[in-house]
Amino acid sequence: MSFSSFGIRSGDVVWKRMRSIGEIKDKDLARRFGDFLLVQGLENEVEEESDGSWTVWVMDEDRLDEANEWLEKFNANPDEAEFVEKARKAEQVRQKKEQELRAFQKRQMKAAQSIQGGFLGMSRFTSAIFIICAVTAIASNLGSNLDFFRVFLISEKPPRVGLIEIQSGQVWRLITPAFLHFGFLHVLFNLWWWKDLGTIVERRHNSIYLAIMFFVIAVTSNTAQYFVGGPYFGGMSGVVYGMLGYLWFRGKFDPNFGLELNPFVIQMMMFWFILCFTGVFGNIANGAHAVGLGVGAAWGYGAAVISRRS
């Protein structure tokens, strides 16, 4: 038998690992402490053991020390006014979380609806970028059609000259290098990961949110690569690493986000990230990778901080 001070169980909420912080002997006191933690913003569960005691489980690993301190203080004096008064407010918190869950389910329904009409099961904006990249790869003959892909470069001039085309009004060049790919494996790798990571972000938020992320990360990673390595580069990998950084840090630092990347995915992507710096694959846009990852991680961490404060 157990009861959750989160108060909500749904298939729409992604399971996240909980940690035990200790036991309370009495059921009513255990419920009171669980309610107190809930009001403190610590989602928890209290579970009955075979010996009749109650184990307290806490979700937020970053606040385990705080939860342990509260438990120690509670066991010393469970009738302290602070515990009793705050525990009474738990029902209001549960009602608020139920409202949040209903709102989350509505967002999920809208996200599911947005998938309709998408390409290969992707959401709308994800599929649009996927198709643009695929068509560009075919039209440019995977980068061998020089006349075609020149108009997609951020500039045809080296960094010492500056972004003359951008200054003359061709601002689309800040984004279009992301659509260029050089070789079958290059386009396959990038679009495979864009399909998965882009769809996750678009389903969790919406098409507008993903579009803003795409443009910001594309512009920053492309600009960085231009000044680091010159004008002749292309690919979605800067944006892909931006999506990786966002989902990685948002899931890690925001317990309310409800999504976490599989650690194997992170390890594999970071393995390729480091391997590309060795030069074994030749001339790689490592500047775009690094800046894309950094911008995405900063975005994810910043969004997590805002979410937790609110």
14 vs 33, higher pLDDT? 33
Q: Is residue 130 part of a domain?
A: no
Same domain, 140 and 289: yes
Q: Which long-range contacts (CB under 8 A, 24 or more apart) does 107-112 make?
A: 107/206, 108/12, 108/203, 110/206, 111/202, 111/203, 111/204, 111/206, 112/203
CATH number at residue 59: 3.30.70.2350
**What is the tens place of the pLDDT at every residue in 132-179?**
999 999 998 887 887 888 889 999 889 988 889 998 999 999 999 999
Output the pLDDT for position 11: 35
- Give the span between the Cα atoms of 172 and 35, in whole angstroms: 53
Final residue of a structural domain among 55, 87, 107:
107
Same domain, 162 and 279: yes
Same domain, 288 and 154: yes
CB 64 within 8 A of CB 19: yes
3-state secondary structure of 185: helix
Average pLDDT across the chain, whole number: 85
Same domain, 26 and 157: no
Domain that holds residue 54: 2-107
Same domain, 100 and 161: no
How many structural domains are present in the chain? 2
**What is the tens place of the pLDDT at every residue in 239-265?**
999 999 999 999 999 888 878 888 899
3-state secondary structure of 58: strand
Q: Is residue 287 part of a domain?
A: yes
- Please name the residue ranges forming H helices in 178-285: 184-204, 207-229, 237-253, 263-277
Q: Is residue 126 part of a domain?
A: no
**What is the tens place of the pLDDT at every residue in 195-227?**
999 999 998 899 999 999 999 999 999 999 999
- Among 95-104, 136-145, 158-167, 228-237, the minimum mean pLDDT is found in 95-104
Same domain, 45 and 146: no
